[in-house]
Amino acid sequence: MNTASIPVNVGNTGFMLLCASLVMLMTPGLAFFYGGLVQRKNVLTIMMQSFMSLGWTTVLWFAFGYSESFGPTWHGIIGNPTTYAFLRGVTLHTMFTGNDAGIPLVVHIAYQMMFAIITPALITGAFANRVTFKAYFWFLTAWLIFVYFPFVHMLWSPNGILAKWGCLDFAGGIVVHASAGFAALASVLYVGRRHVIENKPHNVPLIALGTGLLWFGWYGFNAGSELRVDSVTASAFLNTDIAASFAAITWLLVEWARGSQPKFIGLLTGAVAGLATITPCAGFVSPTTAVVIGIAAGVVCYFAITLKNSMGWDDALDVWGVHGVGGFLGIVLLGVFASTLWNPNGADGLLRGNPAFLGKQFVAAVVCSAWAFVFTYAMLHLINLVTRVKVDEAAEESGLDLTLHGEEAYPLGV
């Protein structure tokens, strides 16, 4: 298709490049967030896993990932991996045709690449301190190919099976958070508990820095998912901040009311839970609804972590409780609260007389979460046949930074 005649919209193009930059910043932000939560002897390992995704996912995205995600469909499940392989056929004048925003295709490629980078990096917090780097490399590669790229195609490609069925996911409740969260749970159950369990964070200011970068980047994550500048973009931006703020305060108050002191880490974790939960809804609901979603995120995700602790699941950095449960909750709440008054291109949910949409959202959330869980568990089993997944007890004792990488974040005497 010749798209050279479509004029470039300078405003939309500039905005989307800014949003791509914001989403890119979220991956270093995640590295700081996770790095502060682990012990000093493991901080470089967890941070390196995020930066590894920043590099390797880009390679896969350039080679075939964008094509698998947005190329011509195979039964609505996956795109043709050769259509845009190595960006074949993409020129300076090739335009994105998914809407009339007037942005070059290279801008869409770059923006969606940043989503692909951060999604598998989220999972690393679940198996922190106990997975070999070689196993993580295999995990990162297989998970992108068999989970992330198909989910992008099914939900965000116009010919995707879930998109054509009528499911909505504005910025990644299923594609990013539920998929990563339930993959994290599968990882926890397969890898097992740490030999050395130390849950005391080594650097709370680092966690705060990471949260700030994530929160800042999330405006590009959510508002940018409109792929243009309009009133929906603005409401998605506002909804993002409202939900994060209400979730942060709700988490703090719930934790405080249950007999604990008001915790800074609780406030920060609540904010991330709110951000994850509003993500699928951001461009389809009102700011008032964002308040409800934020409060629900603070309560539900808090008690999901309480359940995780009671079950003895060693999800080291609470990826399932925050991202898995938050993303799943957001998809379902979208089925309840969606309103075409706030996005004519969206849908009406249960409260506006459309219970069928809620059913579709729930089914999509269950099916996709289940696939992410089952595939991840099976994949880790296969990887373990090739290379050992879990480090030994001596490596845990010494710390993975020295054992796996020969580096230290804080060398003694320096």
Please give the structure tokens belonging to residue 154.
């099914």
Indicate whether 4 belongs to any domain: no
Q: What is the pTM of this model?
A: 0.96
Q: Are 71 and 61 in contact (CB under 8 A)?
A: no
CA 99 to chain centre: 24
Per-residue pLDDT tens digits for 151-181: 999 999 999 999 999 999 999 999 999 999 9
Q: For residue 221, is it within any domain?
A: yes
- CATH number of the domain to which 330 belongs: 1.10.3430.10
* Domain boundaries, position 214: 10-405
pLDDT at 290: 98
Domain count, the chain: 1
pLDDT, position 308:
96
Decide: 357 and 312 in contact? Cβ < 8 Å.
no
Could you give the CA distance from residue 403 to residue 133 in angstroms, rounded to a whole number?
A: 11
Q: Which residues of the chain have pLDDT under 50?
A: 1-2
Structure tokens belonging to residue 290: 């964002």
Residue 412 counted as domain residue: no
**How many residues are there in the chain?**
414
pLDDT of residue 306: 96
pLDDT 10s digits, 107-139: 999 999 999 999 999 999 999 999 999 999 999
DSSP letter for 170, please. Answer: S
Residue 112 lies in a domain: yes
Distance from C-alpha of 200 to C-alpha of 276, rounded to nearest angstrom:
24
**DSSP helix/strand/coil, 74:** strand
Could you list the beta-strand ranges (E) of 232-388: none
Percent helix, strand and coil across the chain, each to the nearest 5: 70, 0, 30
Q: CA 27, CA 347: separation in Å to the nearest integer? A: 31
Residue 326 CA to residue 370 CA, distance in Å, equals: 15
pLDDT at 6: 81
CB-based contacts of 311: which residues, under 8 Å, 6+ apart? none
d(CA 327, CA 89) in angstroms, rounded, equals: 35
Q: What is the pLDDT of residue 1?
A: 43
Task: Name the helix (H) or strand (E) containing 223.
Answer: helix 204-223
The reply to whether 136 falls in a domain is: yes
Q: Is residue 413 part of a domain?
A: no
Residues 6+ apart with CB under 8 A from 399: 39, 40, 41, 42
- Does 132 fall in a domain? yes
So what's the pLDDT on residue 241?
98
CA angle 380, 385, 386 (to 5 degrees): 95
Asked whether residue 120 is domain-assigned, the answer is yes
Short-list 280, 270, 272, 274, CA closest to 293: 274
For 300, the 3-state DSSP assignment is: helix
The tokens for 214 are 């994530």
Spatial distance between the Cα atoms of 42 and 37, rounded to a whole number of angstroms: 10
120/404 Cα distance (integer angstroms): 20
